[in-house]
Structure 1
Amino acid sequence: MADHLLEVRGLSVRFHTAQGVVNAVNDVSWHLDRGETLAILGESGSGKSVSSSAIMNLIDCPPGEIASGEILFEGRDLLRMSPEERRRLNGKRIAMIFQDPLSHLNPVYTVGWQIAETLTAHGRPGAEALARARDLVSRVGIPDPDAAMKKFPHQFSGGQRQRLMIAMALGLKPDILIADEPTTALDVTVQAEILTLLEELQAETGMGLVLITHDLGVVAEAADRAVVMEGGHIVESGTPHDLYHNARHPYTRKLIAAAPGRGDMRRPEDGAEPILSCRGLTKVYGAFTALDGVSFDLMRGETLAVVGESGSGKSTAAKLILRLEEATAGEARWHGEDLLAMTPKEMAKARRQIQMVFQDPTQSLNPRMSVFQIVSEPWVIHPGVVEKRRWRERVAELLEQVGLEAEHAQRYPHQFSGGQRQRIAIARALALEPELIICDEAVSALDVSIQAQVIALLGKLRDELGIAFMFIAHDLPVVRDFADRVLVMKGGQIMEQGPVRRIFEDPREGYTQRLLAAGLDPDPEVQRQRREARLKLSA
C-alpha cells in the first residue's frame, strides 16, 4: 500500500526558450491523502500550475521537459507510464478544472453533449452517459437541468460555467480533483457557493482535492494543509492557521501583509461638490430590465465603489455614463450638463475628462501597438492636449508615474506581466488628465501583491491629482481599503449606499449582509466566524 494517495517527489520542470532555459519548477515535493484538501499557494510564475500540469501530462515536451522527479499515484510513478495508461487515468481517476471555463468548454456543442462525452470516452454507453450527465448538471445546482443540457456555454453565467466544469470533472467519480484557480474573478457569493459545492462533493466521494490559488482567503476557507511556492520552489508548508499566524518565510509574510481588508477605512469629505449626478438611470433590453431607476452622486476626488453580483447592473451603469450604450431613460449630469443628451461632438469632448480602465488589459490593449503608441493614442484623438514634440517625454513621465520605466515605451503588451499591463492601461487613462476614471473590475484577476501595488497607485493618483474614481468591484476587502462611499446593487437596483465604514460595520439590508458574510478572510479564525454567519443567514 502506498503511504499517500498522490505524492510528488523532487519534481523539476524546465522550458527551453529562445532566451534560454527557464526552470519553472525546482525539486518540488508534496503529498495528498484521500479526503484531504491541499492548497498550493503562490503568485503568477511561482510554478504552482506547471506542477499540476505535470500530473495531468499537459506539459508540451518540447519545449517543456520534466528534468527529474517522481509523481506517485497509489504508489505507481505516472512519469513512467505509457501515454495510453495516462489517458486511461486522466478524467477517470484524476480530473482537473481550470480557471476560465469559457476557454475550456467547446462553444459549438451543447453542455449536455460535452459532459456526456467525458463518460463515453471512458466506455460508458451513450444513453447511460446522457442520463448521468443530466444527474450531474442537477447535482451541481444548475436550475432546470433538462433545458440546461440543450444550451451552449455562452448561455450560462461565469459561476454556472464553473459548476458545469465541476460536473464534467466529477462524472467518473475521480479519486483526485485538481482545481486551478476555480474561483478567481467570480462574485463573492458565487465563490463561496463553488467552494461549498466542492466540499460537499468531496464529502460524498472521499476524493482528494488540490486547490491551486493565489488567494489566502480560499486557503483559510477550504484547505487542510497548504504549501507556498515562489520562483518554482516550495518555501513553506503547514496548516492554514500555522501559515497565517506563524509564517517563517519572508515571501509568506509578504503575501499576508498584502492581503486587503486590514487598513483604516476612509471618511468622505464633508461639503464636497458632485461632479457627476445620475438620476433615474434605466436600461431595458426587450423584456429584460438591466438597470432600473438608479440614482447617485460622485464627488470631486472621491472613490465611489459599486458592488454587487454579476448581472446586478454595475457595468451597465458605467457603459451608460460613457455612452458606450444608450440609456432607456434617466440623466447623468457631468458638471451640470446631461451626458445622455449630448451630441457626438459634445460627448467626445466630455470623454476627455472621463476615462475607463477595464478588467482585462490583455483584451483592452492593442497587441500590435507599442506602449508608446498605446499611451500617446489619446493625443491623436484629442489634439492640443500635448504638443507632438513632447509626446515621448510625456509618455516617459506617465510610465514612471505608474511605476514603470521610460524604456518600456518601446515594448509591446505581451512582453509584460498582468500587473504591468494594467499599469499601462492606467497610464493611458491618465494621458488626458481626466477628472474621473471608471475602473471596471480593474484588479480582480491580479495576484494579491500586484493588486496591492495597483490599489496603492490609484490611491496616490487620487490624493495627488484629485481624480475621482468609480470603482466597480466584487472584491469587498479591496473596496473596504480603497473606497470613500459604497453603492450596493442587486437586480439593476440600488439596495443601499453610504460611507464605507457604515456599509461594512452596520449593513442594513439582508443582501449586503450576505455579501459581507460571503467574503473570504485570510485569517482562518475570522473565516470560520464568517462561515458560521453565512450559514445563519441562509438558514
Structure 2
Amino acid sequence: MAEPLLEVRNLSVTFHTARGPVQAVRNVSWQVAPGEVLAILGESGSGKSVSASAVMDLIDCPPGEITSGQIIYRGKDLLTMDADERREINGKRIAMIFQDPLSHLNPVYSVGWQIEEALTTHGTARSQAKAKTLELMEKVGIPNPAASAVKYPHQFSGGQRQRLMIAMALALRPDVLIADEPTTALDVTVQAQILSLLEELQHETGMALLIITHDLGVVAEIADRVVVMNAGEIVEQGTAAEVYANPQHEYTKRLIGAAPGQGEMHENPPKTDPILRLENVSKKYGEFTALGGVNFDLCEGETLAIVGESGSGKSTTARVLLRLEEPSGGRAMYNGRDLFTLSPRELFEMRRDIQMVFQDPTQSLNPRMTVYQIISEAWVIHPEILPKTRWRDRVSELLEQVGLQAEHAHRNPHQFSGGQRQRIAIARALALEPRVIVCDEAVSALDVQVQAQVIDLLDRLKDEFGLSYIFIAHDLPVVRDFADRVIVMQKGEIVEQGPVRQIFENPRETYTQNLLAASLDPDPEVQAQRRAERLARTA
C-alpha cells in the first residue's frame, strides 16, 4: 500500500451539552493514500462526519473539543498548526463537498462568482479565475458554462448544484477530497453520474478521495476500502468486497442485512375496486408542461410506487392530487367524486381521507410545537373525529403504533433523530384516520436500518388500518421490496406501469431499463458486473 497522504490517529471528540459530555468520536484511526477511495460507512450519529469535520477544522470549539489524537497530512499534524497555516491547507490541499449543496452555496451570489472566490482567496488573479471557473464548470458537466456562471444556486437542479460544489472543491486541485454524503436524496441516474464524475476526476488528478456515506451501494460502486463506524468507534474495516462478503462485527451484519432490494417482491397486487382514479390529469406552468395527461388507478389496500428522475412529474402528480396546486385539466375520481371540482368546504372534509408524508420531516414539523400539539392539531381542525377527553390517550396510542413512546409527546421535533421525526409525521397523518397516504420521498434521506424500520412500519400499518399508499421514490431497491405496482414517469408522462416483478425483471421501455441499470447494488461483485455492462453499452 502507498504511503498515506492523510492519516487520523486515535482521534477523540467530545461535545459538552446541558446534559453532560457526549463523546462523539472515540480513538478513531484511519488513513487514505494518493489515488485511493476510502469510504466511512455508518448511520447518523456514528461519528463519521465529525471525524471528517475535525480534518477541516469545522468543529465548533466550544461546545466541541478534540480531546486526543493527531491528524497527519504529509507528515505534519494539522491539530498543532496555527490558523494561518491551516488556512493554507483547507480548500487548497484538502477540500470538502457537503451533503446539501443548497445550504452551502450562497443564495445571493452567482455560482460563477462563488467558484472564482475559491480561486482568488488563494491567490489566483481575478482574470485567470474567470477563465478557470468556466473550464471547471465545463469539466463537471454544467451546460453552457458562460451563461450558467451568472445564474444563482436556486436556478439549478440538485444534481447540478452538487456538480458546482465539486467544481468549487476541485478549483485548486487538492490532494484530498472529502465528500460528505454527496449523493443522498439524488435520483439514481444523477447519483450514478456524480459518482462517475468523482471517479473520473480522481483518476485524472490522482487525489485521495474520502467518501462519507450510509449507502452500501455507494461503497460497492466506488470504494477501495471501507471503515465501518458505530457509536463513535470503528467496529470494522477492510476492502469493500471483504467487508460485504465476510462481515465480522454484528453491527456490520445488521447494516448489510437492512440493505433494501434483497427481500421477496410482492407477487399479487390487490384486485379490489379502485379507490382513486386519475384521468388525463395535466399541469402547465405557462408554456411548460409539467404533466401531460396522467392516467392511473389506486386500489384499496395497494401500494402504488411512482418512480422517475427529478423533473419527471412524480411530485407534481402528488401535489395536484392533493390540490396543493391546481390542475390544468383532467379528473381525479375518489369515491365517485371529482376532487378537482370540490368546493372549499367539500375539499376540507376530503382532506381527512387523503394525507401526505413529506420527504423532510424537519421542515414539515413545526419546531415550536410539542409532539402532542403536532398530532392533536388534526383534531383541532376536525373535532368530529375524537372528543377532547380522548386526545391524550390517542396520542400515546399513535406514538406507540409508530414505534415511539408515550412520554415522547412532550418533546419538540429537534429532540429526535431523522427516523424518529419521520415516525412522528406518520403518526400525525394517521391521526385523521385516512384511507390514502401519499409518501413523497418519505425514506430517501434515512439510514438503511432506519429506512428498513420505517418501511416495515408502513407495511404493518397498511394491514392494520386498511390503508392505500402512493409511494413516490427514487430509491429503486426500496420500491422493489415495498410496492405492489410501479408507475415509471419521464418528462411528465407515464412511460410504463405494471406489477413490481414485471417492472424489475422484464422492463419493456429503454428508460426503465436505464433507471434500473443505474441503481446501485450493495454487493461489490454485483456492482462491478453492472459497471462493466454499463461501460460496454456506452463503448
TM-score normalised by L of structure 2: 0.99
Q: Give secondary structure in 2 for the equivalent of 1:456.
A: helix
Q: 440-449 or 268-277: which moved more?
A: 268-277
Question: Could you say if the C-alpha distance between residues 339 and 35 of structure 1 is closer, same or farther in structure 2, counting changes exceeding 3 Å?
Answer: same
* Alignment correspondent of 1:233: 233
* Alignment correspondent of 1:31: 31
1:270, distance to aligned residue in structure 2 (A) = 5.4
* Alignment correspondent of 2:365: 365
1:302, distance to aligned residue in structure 2 (A) = 0.2
In 2, distance between residues paired with 1:238 and 1:3? 17
Q: Give secondary structure in 2 for the equivalent of 1:449.
A: helix
* Alignment correspondent of 1:122: 122
Amino acid at match of 1:183: T
* Alignment correspondent of 1:67: 67
Q: 8 Å contact 2:270–2:302 — kept in the other structure?
A: no
1:538, distance to aligned residue in structure 2 (A) = 3.8
In 2, distance between residues paired with 1:3 and 1:299? 60
Q: 8 Å contact 1:11–1:25 — kept in the other structure?
A: yes
Q: Give secondary structure in 1 for the equivalent of 2:348.
A: helix
Question: What does 1:25-104 correspond to in 2, within 5 Å?
Answer: 25-104=25-104
Q: 8 Å contact 1:514–1:537 — kept in the other structure?
A: no
Q: 8 Å contact 1:514–1:534 — kept in the other structure?
A: no
1:102, distance to aligned residue in structure 2 (A) = 0.2
In 2, distance between residues paired with 1:386 and 1:526? 52
In 2, distance between residues paired with 1:64 and 1:271? 56
* Alignment correspondent of 1:317: 317
Q: 8 Å contact 2:270–2:301 — kept in the other structure?
A: no
In 1, distance between residues paired with 2:158 and 2:137? 15
Q: Report the RMSD for the aligned CA atoms in angstroms.
A: 0.9
1:181, distance to aligned residue in structure 2 (A) = 0.2
1:268, distance to aligned residue in structure 2 (A) = 3.4
* Alignment correspondent of 2:428: 428
Question: Could you say if the C-alpha distance between residues 47 and 270 of structure 1 is closer, same or farther in structure 2, counting changes exceeding 3 Å?
Answer: closer
Question: What does 1:99-498 correspond to in 2, within 5 Å?
Answer: 99-269=99-269, 271-498=271-498
1:336, distance to aligned residue in structure 2 (A) = 1.5
Over 6 Å off, 4+ runs: none
1:17, distance to aligned residue in structure 2 (A) = 1.1
Question: Could you say if the C-alpha distance between residues 536 and 346 of structure 1 is closer, same or farther in structure 2, counting changes exceeding 3 Å?
Answer: farther
**Is residue 18 from structure 1 mapped to residue 18 from structure 2 by the alignment?**
yes
1:537, distance to aligned residue in structure 2 (A) = 4.1
Amino acid at match of 2:206: G
Q: 2-11 or 475-484: which moved more?
A: 2-11
1:532, distance to aligned residue in structure 2 (A) = 2.4
1:463, distance to aligned residue in structure 2 (A) = 1.5
1:535, distance to aligned residue in structure 2 (A) = 2.6
Q: Give secondary structure in 2 for the equivalent of 1:141.
A: coil
1:536, distance to aligned residue in structure 2 (A) = 3.8
1:128-160 CA-partner distances (Å, limit 9, x unpaired): 001000000000001111100010000000000
Q: 8 Å contact 1:268–1:302 — kept in the other structure?
A: no
Q: 522-531 or 100-109: which moved more?
A: 522-531
In 1, distance between residues paired with 2:153 and 2:99? 15
1:362, distance to aligned residue in structure 2 (A) = 0.4
Amino acid at match of 1:363: Q
Q: Give secondary structure in 1 for the equivalent of 2:172.
A: coil
Q: 8 Å contact 2:402–2:426 — kept in the other structure?
A: yes
1:90-139 CA-partner distances (Å, limit 9, x unpaired): 11100000000000000000000000000000000001001000000000
1:196, distance to aligned residue in structure 2 (A) = 0.2
In 2, distance between residues paired with 1:211 and 1:305? 30
1:297-347 CA-partner distances (Å, limit 9, x unpaired): 000000000000001000100111110000000000001110001111111
Question: Could you say if the C-alpha distance between residues 337 and 377 of structure 1 is closer, same or farther in structure 2, counting changes exceeding 3 Å?
Answer: same
In 2, distance between residues paired with 1:526 and 1:151? 40
Question: What does 1:497-516 correspond to in 2, within 5 Å?
Answer: 497-516=497-516
In 2, distance between residues paired with 1:471 and 1:386? 28
Q: 8 Å contact 1:358–1:441 — kept in the other structure?
A: yes
1:227, distance to aligned residue in structure 2 (A) = 0.4
1:526, distance to aligned residue in structure 2 (A) = 1.1
In 2, distance between residues paired with 1:49 and 1:213? 9
Q: 8 Å contact 2:270–2:299 — kept in the other structure?
A: no
Q: 8 Å contact 2:275–2:334 — kept in the other structure?
A: yes
In 1, distance between residues paired with 2:428 and 2:418? 15
Q: 8 Å contact 2:14–2:65 — kept in the other structure?
A: yes
In 1, distance between residues paired with 2:436 and 2:534? 36
In 1, distance between residues paired with 2:362 and 2:455? 19
Q: 8 Å contact 2:402–2:457 — kept in the other structure?
A: yes
Q: 8 Å contact 2:271–2:299 — kept in the other structure?
A: no
1:528, distance to aligned residue in structure 2 (A) = 1.2
In 2, distance between residues paired with 1:416 and 1:4? 38
Amino acid at match of 1:36: E
1:210, distance to aligned residue in structure 2 (A) = 0.1
In 1, distance between residues paired with 2:404 and 2:24? 25
Q: Give secondary structure in 1 for the equivalent of 2:281.
A: strand
Question: Could you say if the C-alpha distance between residues 279 and 12 of structure 1 is closer, same or farther in structure 2, counting changes exceeding 3 Å?
Answer: same
In 2, distance between residues paired with 1:400 and 1:63? 34
Q: Give secondary structure in 2 for the equivalent of 1:115.
A: helix
In 2, distance between residues paired with 1:247 and 1:136? 40
Q: 8 Å contact 1:301–1:467 — kept in the other structure?
A: yes
Amino acid at match of 1:17: T
In 1, distance between residues paired with 2:440 and 2:271? 27
In 1, distance between residues paired with 2:178 and 2:367? 32
Amino acid at match of 1:263: G
TM-score normalised by L of structure 1: 0.99
Question: Could you say if the C-alpha distance between residues 385 and 505 of structure 1 is closer, same or farther in structure 2, counting changes exceeding 3 Å?
Answer: same
Q: 8 Å contact 2:13–2:25 — kept in the other structure?
A: yes
1:60, distance to aligned residue in structure 2 (A) = 1.1
Q: 8 Å contact 2:269–2:499 — kept in the other structure?
A: no
Q: Give secondary structure in 2 for the equivalent of 1:24.
A: strand
1:416-472 CA-partner distances (Å, limit 9, x unpaired): 110000000000000011110000000000011000000000000112211000000
1:30-77 CA-partner distances (Å, limit 9, x unpaired): 110000000000000100000001101111111111111111101111
Q: Structure 1: which 5+ runs fail to align? A: none
In 2, distance between residues paired with 1:497 and 1:383? 40
In 1, distance between residues paired with 2:322 and 2:84? 55
In 2, distance between residues paired with 1:263 and 1:169? 39
